[in-house]
Amino acid sequence: DALLAGCMLVTLQNNADRVKIACPAQLANVIAPIMTDNGGKAWAQTIFYPFMYASAYGRGKTLKATIDCDTYKSSEGWDVPYLCTSVINNEEKRELVVFAVNRSMNEDMELSFDLDDTYKLAEHIEFYTDDLYAENDKDAQRVLPSSCPVSDTKNVTVKKHSWNMLVFKY
C-alpha cells in the first residue's frame, strides 16, 4: 500500500549514507507499481506514486530533520512517531523537498517548518483517500495524488493516513 511504500522510501532516503542500492520486492511480485492486462491495458497501482515522486524529486543531499510529534506503541513495544519524514536538499534546483507520511489513522497533523524567509512553499502533493481499501485497477484509477493549495505560511496540514510531498524553493 502507498503509505507503507512511502515510509519505506523515507527510510531509504534517511539512510542513503549506508544504503547505496535497494531493490524493493514490490518490483518483482504481484504488487508491482504498474500492472498490465493480457489485453494490453496498463494502470498504476497506489504504490506507484510515492516511487514516482521520490524518483523525480528525491535527488540531492538528505538532511537530518528534527521532529517533535506524538508517538504510538508498536506491537513490539517501541515508540513509533506518527510522522515519518525525510528532507532532501537539491542545490541545483534550489529546492528543499519534504516527504511526509502521517501514520495516524484518525488525526490530521499540522507541520511547522523552522525555515528562514528565503524558503517559499511552491508545491504540495497529497496522496490520500478516506477509503483505506480503495485500489486502482484496469477499470478505474480510484486513488490518485492531488495538488493542494499553497500559501506563504510555514505551517502545512497533512491529512490522516496520507503521503505528502512539499517542495520549498529558495
Q: What is the pTM of this model?
A: 0.91
Average pLDDT for residues 126-155, to the nearest whole number? 94
pLDDT tens-digit series, residues 31-48: 678 888 888 899 999 989
The pLDDT of 57-83, averaged and rounded, is: 95
pLDDT at residue 27 above 70? no
Contacts 24+ apart (CB under 8 A), 41-46: 41/138, 43/136, 43/137, 43/138, 43/141, 44/136, 44/141, 45/135, 45/136, 46/1, 46/2, 46/5, 46/127, 46/134, 46/135, 46/136, 46/143
Q: Is the pLDDT of residue 1 over 90?
A: no
Average pLDDT over residues 47-57: 94
